[in-house]
Amino acid sequence: MSWLKRLGMGLGVIVSLLIIWSAAGVIVYGPEYVRRVLVSRESSVDDYLNNFRLSELSASETPFAFEVALDEEAVRSAFERALGVEDLDEFLSDAETQALIVIKDDSILYEGYFNGTRRDSVVTSFSVAKSFDSALVGIAIDEGFIGGVDDAITDYLPELAERNPGFESITIGDLLRMAAGLEYRELRWFLFNGDDPLTTYYPDQRQISLENTHIVEPPGEHFNYNKYHPQLLGMILERATGMSVTELTQTRLWDRIGMEYDGAWALDSEESGFEKMEAGLNARAIDFAKFGRLYLDSGNWLGEQVVSADWVAESTQLDPATQNEAYYSKSFGPYVYDGGKGYYKYFWYGRLRDGQPADFAAEGDHGQYIYVSPANGVIIVRNGTGYGIPSNEWIDAFYTVAVGL
């Protein structure tokens, strides 16, 4: 038998196995999910801007505008020193940056756009969306829809307890801390049954989060980054308030903090219509900065308390009880803990400062950041189609630049 014939037979076997594998995925999970996994594979900026149905957010009737007091050279010099680069704008372009905005004391010092992006270009959040989720939970507690972070999640999602009574021990706070004790294996041998593709592409996130969550340890023992957490919180918000997450975002945040542009939540599917709580908020960079301003000012917006100051502090500042290496020992934890310099609290990342309030940040895949330094009155927003450099190097740079401005 010639080598060419053997090659053809081998390729035929591979193709047959792929067809059988895909067919099995379709039988178990449905054709739309399998199509999404095979076509999209790793999620990208384009997924959230183009490949999901959107639930629209309308610009505020009273848009807020930051003061402009440009000091571009000071910002460039501070970043060039922090990053060890010679030309900040060239570096940002090469590092797949879409937008970089630096604000100090309510004034824009630097606002730059790259790689075809402009001020009115829509950028996406990835996991920055989770920090918005956290704010919505805080507002729901402030308004009495939710009792508090110590409420059992089964108070709102009783079907979980019907499947496993152990869910009664998991609280809303455990979800917000990413410490509910739920299993999360990003990829499994079958690919389609990995938790990461399921929580990204399955077209009914309510169903998959209620039926495919499994307890593997008691809550509170470990930080374990897990995208079922925000999905479950989204359902709790829906049931507690009687509103969609889009409506809550519109009425409790978008309108009240003067978002200048329209935005949108990506949905799991048109049929399900559930917001992709883990990563699906789309907006303009300048409006993401307004969310940073809200938290910099302890939840107050021009004299109105949009979210309570207590919630902002509780969400973003360190819980000493969890500040140990063992708590952060799983998967993504060592990056967060960073040798004791960092922590995670209620869907926000924190960075300690000696003798001063900690900095905190909303962070998303491919390098989306809303970085807030209360001690220095600084907000930094960066969006991109890729990181360009390791994420911890961005955070180190933001930390250093905030002091130097």
Residue linked to tokens 């990506």: 266
- The secondary element (H helix, E strand) that includes residue 256 is none
Query: In sequence order, which ranges of 191-343 are alpha helices (DSSP H)?
Result: 195-201, 205-211, 228-241, 245-249, 285-296, 309-316, 333-337
* 232 in Cβ contact with 153 (< 8 Å): yes
* Residue 2: per-residue pLDDT: 55
pLDDT of residue 18: 54
| pLDDT tens string 284-301 | 999 999 999 999 999 999
Note the pLDDT of residue 311.
Answer: 98
Q: Which residue is associated with the tokens 């960073």?
A: 338
User: CA quadruple 382, 385, 388, 391: dihedral positive or negative?
Assistant: positive
Average pLDDT along the chain: 92
Task: For 230, list phi and psi in degrees, rounded to 5.
Answer: -65, -30
The residues spanned by each domain of the chain are: 3-39, 55-158+243-404
pLDDT of residue 35: 85
What class, spelled out in words, does domain 55-158+243-404 have in CATH? alpha beta
Beta strands at 107-113 and 67-68: parallel, antiparallel or unpaired? parallel
Q: Provide the pLDDT for residue 157.
A: 98
- For residue 348, what are its two tokens? 């926000």
Per-residue pLDDT of 202-247, as tens digits, reads: 999 999 999 999 999 999 999 999 999 999 999 999 999 999 999 9
Residue 208 contacts residue 202 (beta carbons within 8 Å): yes
**Nearest Cα to 405, choosing from 95, 301, 397?**
397
pLDDT tens for each residue of the chain, 405 residues long: 554 444 444 444 444 445 555 555 566 677 888 888 888 767 778 777 777 999 999 999 999 999 999 999 999 999 999 999 999 999 999 999 999 999 999 999 999 999 999 999 999 999 999 999 999 999 999 999 999 999 999 999 999 999 999 999 999 999 999 999 999 998 776 678 889 999 999 999 999 999 999 999 999 999 999 999 999 999 999 999 999 999 999 999 999 999 999 999 999 999 999 999 999 999 999 999 999 999 999 999 999 999 999 999 999 999 999 999 999 999 899 999 999 999 999 999 999 999 999 999 999 999 999 999 999 999 999 999 999 999 999 999 999 999 999
230 Cβ neighbours under 8 A, 6+ residues apart: 129, 130, 133, 175, 277, 278, 347
Q: What pLDDT was estimated at residue 24?
A: 56
302-340 burial: b if 16+ Cβ within 10 Å, else e? eeeebbbeebbebbbbbeeebeeeebbebbbbebbbbee
CB 131 within 8 A of CB 348: yes
Q: pTM of this prediction?
A: 0.94
CA 385 to chain CA mean position, Å: 15
In whole angstroms, give the CA distance from residue 230 to residue 241: 16
Kindly state the tokens that stand for 48: 């959230």
